[in-house]
């Protein structure tokens, strides 16, 4: 029963534009609602502590391909990618809910595998499964995970806290999950064209592992607590450094100057990107699914991160009018595009 | 990549059997996790108050049919049915997250309608939308809502608190949402066979409204607080009285004696069930989607509910060995079947 009204296509707004459009008029009803839509997690005031709530939906054929994704890894990844959002607020995840819609092509044994992955992630990150919903699907598998965490109000790291002069820090390395996906897709195509050929993933365990079984940076949050460091802002890197840095700068109303030489890339990623005829830095900036942390610190706090393994200083927050720029190894200064992979390739 | 292992079909376990099977080995990691899978909501200890978390997934073609479900009503219902789970714990819902997977057949205007319903429910129940996820779907619309509420530890109403001698109470009336669905399905079939015939829902606004735009019993929870009543157990009636009473009795390790004369049925439902050649009490016991509350009280608290409009005393909790029985208006005593509509029809 559609009306004969005007029709605006969703893709004219994009995911974030759409969410802004649909949720912009919200005025909270409850004083306990500290932060609503727009950060890594919603924030609820409980007095002494705050609760952090983050949720993701994963759709077969969009976010995962069961041809090369073992169900156990899928369950694990569905949990860890949500926990990553709680850590990105400088909080500790404590509970999750797990819901799924599935068709009868899944057996009980298949679901046991999926849940084995969920339980493994819960054990590793010390979170508890406290609910969910299981229902039928007319076609593929759909998963929805909600993570609930705990934080201290004055130690939360929002996207909007970056100040001019702050240092931009990155954890881990970038581009591996994206290249892992390219590898798996390539082997899938080879297999589909000739099922006798076995997948050749020899020596590629790092990028494939980063794609199929990502971890959340619990260790970094624990390091912050130990060093009494509270970043001025933080975001988790799920859509590539470029996109996340743009989100953070927009929320904080600042610009950024990012050093290409400061963006960590794993040696296997360097080699593999050449195989795929891709620029490693492009994979690192726009690849996505790294689930690392991008954060900013007051320059006076530099001693607290300088000698921490796995944390890299990669640039500086600048005035909004100076834009968001990349200083390449070759000495050039570019605009850093805000879009994901597709758009970046077009503009590059 | 499926293994050549044994295959157990999901339907051999049923939804609740499946959840039990997949989640049974859980030992909580966090002392804040008070209740996990198995009640209307998970319970998290925050010190002075507890947080309650409940989640549902709704799938197009399974839970709703967009041919007769306006998107605004769908958004409203997706929220209120989740809030119902929080009220069923004697808690107050405060926040929700809303996630959806959708194909590009939906326009921005269509999503504005969906969100108008979400916002209307949020306004009516004074809850705040604090997050969500929007993603693509390969086919139909999938919605996942998580509600977060607040409660007082000593006033929570679990499913497992019913004691022998407690009175069984029901709010509202039953069977209307089920019959509303039958009406809408009938009109859909007529329309599909001849699109010139306009739907005839004249005088059927009550059952259709109960199906398309159900409310959650906020008023009853407020009444409990005013009368200082804490039920000994409670569950919300989403799958029909029979099924919910079985859940409650199983969790409490008791039996029940339900009076047919105590089950409230709306006059329009009485009339409509005759049109559909159905027994009104069967619709009331097994219909589902009423989103009323079934609760038990200590007999000493009878004065606190006796004169409350919309609360009906419908039976008594008995010893587990006496089973779960229905005392019909005709004076017979039956086993009350535990299954939903389909199984009930087979056994009746």
CB B104 within 8 A of CB A9: yes
Q: What Å distances lie between residue B108 and A57, A59, B78, CA to CA?
A: 20, 21, 19
Q: What residues have CB less than 8 Å from B63, skipping those under 6 apart?
A: A135
Rounded to 5 degrees, φ, ψ at A161 are -100, 0
CB A308 within 8 A of CB A227: yes
Instruction: Look up residue A34 and give its two tokens.
Output: 């500290």
Enumerate domains of chain A plus CATH numbers: 31-155 (3.30.1330.10), 159-347 (3.90.650.10)
- Chain B CA closest to residue A128: B28
**Cβ A28–B128 below 8 Å, yes or no?**
yes
pLDDT digits (tens, 9 = 90+) for A123-146: 999 999 999 999 998 878 999 999
Instruction: Look up residue B249 and give its two tokens.
Output: 């009795």
Which contiguous run of DSSP H or E holds residue A42?
Answer: strand A42-45
Rounded to 5 degrees, φ, ψ at A100 are -150, 145
**What pLDDT is stored for residue B311 in this prediction?**
96
Higher pLDDT, A255 or B1: A255
CB B151 within 8 A of CB B52: yes
Q: How many CA atoms lie within 13 A of A253 on its CB side?
A: 0
pLDDT above 70: percentage of residues in chain B? 95
**What pLDDT is stored for residue B196 in this prediction?**
82
pLDDT above 90: percentage of residues in chain B? 76
- Per DSSP, the residues of A5-16 read ----BGGGTHHH
Question: Which residue among B2, B46, B128 sits closest to A33, beta carbon to beta carbon?
Answer: B128
Check CB contact of A191 with chain B, cutoff 8 Å: no
pLDDT digits (tens, 9 = 90+) for B105-160: 899 999 999 999 999 999 999 999 999 999 998 878 999 999 999 999 999 999 99
Q: How far apart are CA B343 and CA B12, in angstroms?
A: 14
CB A233 within 8 A of CB A158: yes
d(CA B344, nearest CA chain A) in Å: 20
Interface with A, mutate which of B130, B142, B152, B212 (most A CBs under 10 A): B130
Low-confidence ranges of chain A (pLDDT < 70): 1-5, 25, 339-348
Residues B263-270: what's their mean pLDDT?
A: 95
**What pLDDT is stored for residue A89 in this prediction?**
97
CB A131 within 8 A of CB B36: yes
What ipTM score was computed for the predicted complex, to two decimals?
0.91
**Residue carrying the six token digits 């992979």:** A341
**What pLDDT is stored for residue B120 in this prediction?**
96
Question: Which residue among B8, B29, B56 sits closest to A126, beta carbon to beta carbon?
Answer: B29
**What pLDDT is stored for residue A340 in this prediction?**
52
Higher pLDDT, B2 or A274: A274
Higher pLDDT, B339 or A193: A193
Question: Which residue among A61, A66, A97 sits closest to B146, beta carbon to beta carbon?
Answer: A97
Higher pLDDT, B308 or A200: B308
Considering only residues 86 to 115 of chain A, which have any Cβ-Cβ distance to chain B shorter than 8 Å?
94-95, 97, 99-102, 104, 106-112, 115
Q: How far apart are CA B258 and CA B168, in angstroms?
A: 8
d(CA A260, nearest CA chain B) in Å: 31
Centre a 10 Å sphere on the Cβ of residue A303 and count the other Cβ atoms it contains: 9
Of the pLDDT bands very low, low, confident and very high (cuts 50, 70, 90), residue B346 is very low
**What pLDDT is stored for residue B194 in this prediction?**
86
Check CB contact of B192 with chain A, cutoff 8 Å: no
**What pLDDT is stored for residue B197 in this prediction?**
78
- Chain A CA closest to residue B97: A55
Check CB contact of B7 with chain A, cutoff 8 Å: yes
**What pLDDT is stored for residue B85 in this prediction?**
96
Q: How far apart are CA A253 and CA B211, in angstroms?
A: 46
**What pLDDT is stored for residue A5 in this prediction?**
62
Check CB contact of A195 with chain B, cutoff 8 Å: no
């Amino acid at each position: 029963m559609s009306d004969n009204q005007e029709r605006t296509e969703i893709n004219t707004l994009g995911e974030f534009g759409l969410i802004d459009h649909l949720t912009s008029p919200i005025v909270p009803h409850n004083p306990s609602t500290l932060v609503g839509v727009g950060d890594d997690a919603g924030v609820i005031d409980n007095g002494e502590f705050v609760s952090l709530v983050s949720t993701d939906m994963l759709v077969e054929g969009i976010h995962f391909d069961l041809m090369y994704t073992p169900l156990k890894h899928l369950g694990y990844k569905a949990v860890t990618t949500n926990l990553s959002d709680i850590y990105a607020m400088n909080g500790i995840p404590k509970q999750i809910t797990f819901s799924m819609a599935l068709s009868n092509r899944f057996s009980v044994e298949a679901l046991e595998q999926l849940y084995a992955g969920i339980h493994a992630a819960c054990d590793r990150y010390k979170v508890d499964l406290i609910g969910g919903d299981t229902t039928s699907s007319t076609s593929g598998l759909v998963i929805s995970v909600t993570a609930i965490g705990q934080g201290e109000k004055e130690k939360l790291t929002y996207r909007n806290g970056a100040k001019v002069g702050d240092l931009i820090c990155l954890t881990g390395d970038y581009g591996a999950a994206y290249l892992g996906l390219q590898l798996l897709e390539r082997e899938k195509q080879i297999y589909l064209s000739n099922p006798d050929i076995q997948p050749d993933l020899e020596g590629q365990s790092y990028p494939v592992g980063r794609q199929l079984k990502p971890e959340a940076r619990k260790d970094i949050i624990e390091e912050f607590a130990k060093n009494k460091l509270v970043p001025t802002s933080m975001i988790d890197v799920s859509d590539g450094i470029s996109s996340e840095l743009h989100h953070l700068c927009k929320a904080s109303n600042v610009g950024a100057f990012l050093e290409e030489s400061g963006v960590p890339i794993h040696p296997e990623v360097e080699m593999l990107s050449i195989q795929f005829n891709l620029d490693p830095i492009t994979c690192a900036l726009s690849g996505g699914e790294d689930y690392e942390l991008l954060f900013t610190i007051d320059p006076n706090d530099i001693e607290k991160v300088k000698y921490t393994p796995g944390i890299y200083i990669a640039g500086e927050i600048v005035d909004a009018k100076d834009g968001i720029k990349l200083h390449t190894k070759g000495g050039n200064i570019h605009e850093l595009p805000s879009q994901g992979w597709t758009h970046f390739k077009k503009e590059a």
